[in-house]
Structure formats: structure tokens, C-alpha cells
Chain A
Amino acid sequence: MVVLLQLQNFSYAYPGTGTAVLQDVNLEIEAGCCYCLTGPTGSGKTTVALALKGLLDSVDCSGTIDRFGTPDTREVRVGLVLQNPETQLLATTVGAEVAFGLENLCVDPQAMPARVEAALSLVDLCKPLDYPVAMLSMGQKYRLLVAALLVMEPQLLILDEPAAQLDPQGLAALCRVLSDLKARGVAVVLCEHRPGPLLEVVDRFWQMDGNGRLFPGRWQAPEAPPAISAGQAGTDFADAPALLQVRDLSFSGHGTVPVWKDVCFDIHRGQCVVVTGMNGTGKTTLLRVLAGFLKPGRGSIRIFDGEPEPRLLRRRLGCLFQNPQKQIFENTVREEIAFPLKRFGWPAADRAARIEETLRLCGIEHLIDASPHKLSYGQKHLVAIASVLAPAPEMLFLDDPFAGLDGARQRDVMDVLDSWSRERGVTLVITSHDPEQVPGLADGHLHIEGGRIGWR
């Protein structure tokens, strides 16, 4: 097999950090092979991908990257699709998006349409070139990005966490594309901590050990907690007071088609309800309407026996929207947890005790004086959760709190929420985009589909 790329004793540390993310990494990539790089969240998989693409600053690197491209250039054309499709879609139409790379390579504009059409057919995305990107589903957007790389005729294609972006049908389509690419001699590297659905195309595994070292073999993620259906928990909430009552609720936003309509449900004290639905079905919108930040088109909401009004809800309702780390703003974890307590008038002596108790229950008491901006992704997540739990809200809205976390971190977050829910009677409303991953602590399951919300 022809070797395309080799990393030898490659190490890298991000500027300003003390520890190396990659340490003495050795790997070799052959044409036509599919490799899967596994490892826990934060272990350096994306950094390896960036190194292979040549996007890391050479000043902070040591070791060598050898490229064995064409005899005249020695350059290897590498295509890289990063994790979040939304921040990689740089144009407004399908044709312009795929052609972006060709523009950067100064390809003649006359030659672009044919190459764009060919790339789109490779990923089986049959849309007109003027089709708006915003109207594609998440799976289609991901395939569009793959097409946008394939149009540049890469010899190595790197995909970072593709399973997180695609539903089962999308993954099946991706498998077909990858098999086809391998047959054409293109090497593929998948950075994935849950490679399950893509196993059939993988030829070799590597694993990151969490200390920056790479080994052959596959890292196995701890199993996510098993799903249980509504009512299986054995707790009957019918006698508990209803904290949230929704009747005939509809919301259309600024369009004419309702996002959802005729929604009716009750949520009782101490209950944990998961709201599932695909991306774009209105889960976040539902939380914002229930919290009073958006007015519904029709229907009524009673929360804590009153109208949803943020000014009145803020002591009793906590809310953590997607990517909760973005709410962190204080200089230490202690100050971050203290902020809501100060605003809600907690006395200083009570605040100190409450902060320590909250951090202990979240398992991060050792980080009390650390800067929250220098913590890992999972630790920041827990700090953000602790900061909304500290004032002891009666109800908590959590918008996709497990997104971006590997199995171990998901378990940590779930344990924290479970203990607060069971021991302190906090009512939880959690949204998730994956109906197959209803957390083990759910007492009820609402599902959004086709503009309707109903119990499952």
C-alpha cells in the first residue's frame, strides 16, 4: 500500500497551556485505508486531525510530519470536516458552498459547475445548485460538507465526530460514500468516540489514552445509562402538585406554519421529563415559551400557579441553554456559583456554605478557586450546572445538556441531576435531539414530531 502521510514523535501543546495535548505520536496513513481514531472527549483526537491537515502552528510542534504526495510536489491533498457543521457552512446556496474550496484553489469559474455537480452526486445529494443551505436537514448539511471537500479531490479525507451529526440513515449513506472513496484509493480517518455505526468501513483502529499518547487498538466508551420508558421508574406523580400546566399551546414565530400546535401536558413536582425531537422541531423554542421569553400564538401556560414571567420566575426556575459554558463569566468557580446567590439576597455566611455544598454534590469541590475558563469541556459543563443548582430552584430547564459529552461525562452529569431530582425534589425538564438516548432518570417522555407534542 502507498504511504501518504507519516507522523513521527509528533508532540503539540496549545499556546498558553502547560501540558502537551499530543505526546510522541507515531502513525502512518496508507492510501485506500480507513482508520478510526478513538478516545474520550478532550483526549486530542481533533488535534491529530488538525495536525494531519497542517493547521497547527509549527512553533508549538515538535517531531515531524512527512508527506509522500505526487513525485513533483510531495504535497498530499487533505480534506477535513470538523465537528460542528453549522460553523463550517460558509455560503448560502448549495452550489456556492461546494464551490468555496474551488474558489480558494483559483479554479476557472467555467469549470466549477461540472465539478460541483460531480461532487454532489458522489454524496448522493440531489439538490439544485441554487438551493438554500439553510433549508437542508442536518444530515444533508453534513453530506454537503463532505461534497465540499471531495470537490477538491483530496487524497486523505478526515471526518471529526461524524456519528454525532447524522441519524442512522445518514450514517448508512456516509458508509456507502466512504466505501466508494476507499475503492478509489482515498484514505479516510474518522475521529470518533462512538464508531459503532461506521465499524463496517473501518480497517484499523487507534486510540488516544487521555495523556496525549496514541496506541493501536480501539478505546471503548463506558456504556450510556439504559433508557427506561415512562412509568417504569415506579413513581407515581399524579398526586404531586402540577407545577407546569399547558393547554392548547401553539407557536408560529414569524412564519405562517406553526412550529407546534394544540400542545397539552402537565408536569408535576419532582418529575423528570425528557422532551425529544429532531433538530429544528422546536425543543428550545418550547423551553423559551414556557419560561416566558416568547409569547405563544395561542393557548395558556400556568407555571407555579402564575403566568410565565421571567422577572417573577427567576428565583424558582433555573435554565441552562445549549452549550452552557457560554454563560460562565466570573474569574473563579467560587465567584461563578456565588453570583446568583448574591443576586437573590443570600447572606454571606450562608453563601459560603451553599457554594461548598453544591460543588461537593457536583463532584468538583477541588476546583473551587480555579479559573472556570481554563477547565476542560466537561468540567466547565459541571460548573455551569452547579451555578444554576446553587440557588435551589424548584424547577430546572436543561436544553440538550449531554451534547458534546462522552459516556463518562454524561454519566457524571446524569448522576448530579438524578441526586438533585430525587433527594431535593427538583423538577427537571430536559430536551434531547436523540430519541434513542432518553436518560435513565426520566419519569416521562414528551416527543415532538410533525408539529405535535405528545407523551410516549
Chain B
Amino acid sequence: MAGDSFSRLHTALAQGHRRDDGPAEPGKGISLPVGVKMLLALTLSCVAFVARSGVFLGALTAANAVVFLLLRPQGVSWWRQGRYFVLQSSTIVILYIIRFGSLEGIWDGLLISWQLFLAFWPTMIFAKTTSQTKIVRAMNRVMPGHVSFVLATCLKFAPHLLEEFRDIYEGQVLRGARILPRDLLKPWNWPDLVHCVVVPAVVQGMALAGNIALAARARDFGLYSRRTCWPGD
């Protein structure tokens, strides 16, 4: 039901920023500095674009496998990743078969699909093995302080806003708004979703943004153009 989906997403987001920087529960993989992991992820991702031959792709796959075994990310859904690869491959392979004929088309199509898969895999592993706080600290190194603050804060408060969205949705359902999943199968009910849920949720988002901005300015955020960084724990 819709309530359970909100709860799952909310829990996943909330757990993301419940992890702390210090002595967290021991991970199963090796611990690398965030900058090194980020560089590794970006490099592996970019190399996937130039890996044209089967041999090169094989070597890159082996490199990714080594990284995977070393870092041991938790929560990787092999079903979801596999399904995505199959769906993507099938479109590409079919188009290649039409273009070149069966055998040659299948092999070329599969190689291209594998390349695309290896382009996104490293950044997914990076996200699964790095706490949000460390991601924010890494962002601070490459983005202006104010911009990384905005993104980090919005990621942190996303669960809060999702709760507001959920409260609005559930309250409006009981007021008779036609916004249950089976109601939304009919397009003429979509205006109810926009008016009763989306618009109030946007208003709450603006109000939250205003409150956070006030809280940040109450602690002199923006007083100077640059900010230093808490060294961590």
C-alpha cells in the first residue's frame, strides 16, 4: 500500500543520515578515504566509455570485481541490477540484430550494454559504501561551500519533507480526495493529486526552506563568503 512505500523510502533515507562519521559498526570491507573512493569511482566509470574491445571490457570487469570484493557494499539488489541490465540489453541487441544480422548483432549489442552497465556500476558502489556525511565532506572539496551546504541539508531534510508529504496525502485521502493508487489509474483524478497533495507539499517545502534558512542565518551562515570545515571525529 502507499503508506508502506513512504515508510520504506523514509526509513532508507533516514538511515542514510543516521550513520555517523566516527566508530560506526565495523564494515566488512576495507576502509578507503572518501576522496580516493570518489576518484576510483569516477575513473572506472569514465574508463568504461573507452573500453571498446572484449578484452578491455573483461579487464575492466575484473577491476570492478576486485573493488567490489574489497569494499563489500551492503544492500546491493542483484535482482534489480540484473533486471535493469536485461531490459537495457534487449533493446540494444534487438536493434543491432536488425542492423547487422543475428550473431554479429548479438555480440556487439551485448558488448555495448555491458559497457553502459560498467559506466554506472562504480558510482553505485561508491554510494553504497560511503555514509552521507562523508559524501557531503567529499562534495565540500569540489563544490563551493554554500552549494554543498544546500545539497547536504536538502538530503538531510528530505525524510522530514517526505513525512509532511505523507501526512498531507493520508489526511486528504480521508477527506475524500481521489488519490489512492487505484483512483490514480483514471487520469481525471490527477487534478486532485495536484491540488490536494502536490500544491500543499510544495508550500510545506517552501516553508521548510524558509525555516532552515532562518536557522542557518541565526548561526551567521553567509556572514563571510567562505567557510571552514569541521575536521570530523
Contact = CB atoms under 8 A, between A and B. Distances in A.
Bound pair: A and B? yes
Interface of A: 50, 53, 55, 79-82, 84, 86-88, 90-93, 95-96, 99-110, 112-113, 128-132, 134-135, 148-149, 152, 253-254, 288, 291, 293-295, 310-311, 313-315, 317-324, 326-329, 339-340, 342-344, 387-388, 391
Contacts of A340: 175-176
B174 A314 contact: yes
B81 interface: no
A328 B17 CA distance: 31
Contacts of A106: 224, 226-228
B222 interface: yes
Interface stretch (B67-75, B88-96, B195-203): B195-203
Interface in B195-217: 195-196, 199-200, 203-204, 208, 211-212, 214-217
Contacts of B208: 87
Contact of B175 (A87, A90, A104, A387): A387
B7 A253 contact: yes
Chain A, interface SS category: mixed
Contact of A104 (B7, B170, B211, B220): B220
Contact of B176 (A102, A132, A343): A343
Contacts of B220: 101, 104-105, 152
Contacts of A313: 174
B171 A320 contact: yes
A130 B23 contact: yes
Given A104-B223, A254-B8, A326-B167, A92 B218 contact: no
Interface residues of B, number: 63
B179 to A, nearest CB: 10
A108 B228 contact: yes
Contacts of B215: 82, 87-88, 90
Contact of B170 (A55, A93, A135, A319): A319
Contact of B173 (A132, A314, A388): A314
Of B2, B3, B14, B230, chain A has the most CB atoms within 10 Å of the CB of: B230
A91 B227 CA distance: 15
Contact of B230 (A96, A132, A339): A96
A86 to B, nearest CB: 7
A210 B71 CA distance: 61
B145 to A, nearest CB: 8
Nearest to B199: A329
Contact of B229 (A109, A318, A320, A328): A109
B228 A343 contact: no
A131 B171 contact: no
Contacts of B229: 103, 109
B107 interface: no
Contacts of A108: 228
Nearest to A318: B174
Nearest to A53: B218
Chain B, interface SS category: helix
B138 to A, nearest CB: 15
B233 A328 contact: no
A103 B168 CA distance: 36
A388 B175 contact: yes
B174 A319 contact: yes
Interface in B4-60: 4, 7-8, 11, 14, 17-23
Contacts of A310: 170, 173-174, 180
B220 to A, nearest CB: 4
Contact of B172 (A129, A327, A342): A327
A321 B231 contact: no
Of B1, B167, B203, chain A has the most CB atoms within 10 Å of the CB of: B167
A102 to B, nearest CB: 7
A84 B174 contact: no
B164 interface: yes
Given A92-B132, A109-B231, A254-B8, A291 B222 contact: no
Of A103, A319, A320, chain B has the most CB atoms within 10 Å of the CB of: A103
B102 interface: no
A131 B20 contact: yes
A87 B212 contact: yes
**Can you list the 9 inter-chain pairs with the closest CB atoms, starting with the nearest?**
A130-B22, A343-B176, A130-B233, A293-B3, A88-B215, A99-B230, A101-B219, A321-B167, A87-B211
B18 to A, nearest CB: 5
A149 B204 CA distance: 27
A294 B174 contact: no
Contacts of B173: 310, 314
A92 B4 contact: no
A317 B223 CA distance: 50
A339 B22 CA distance: 51
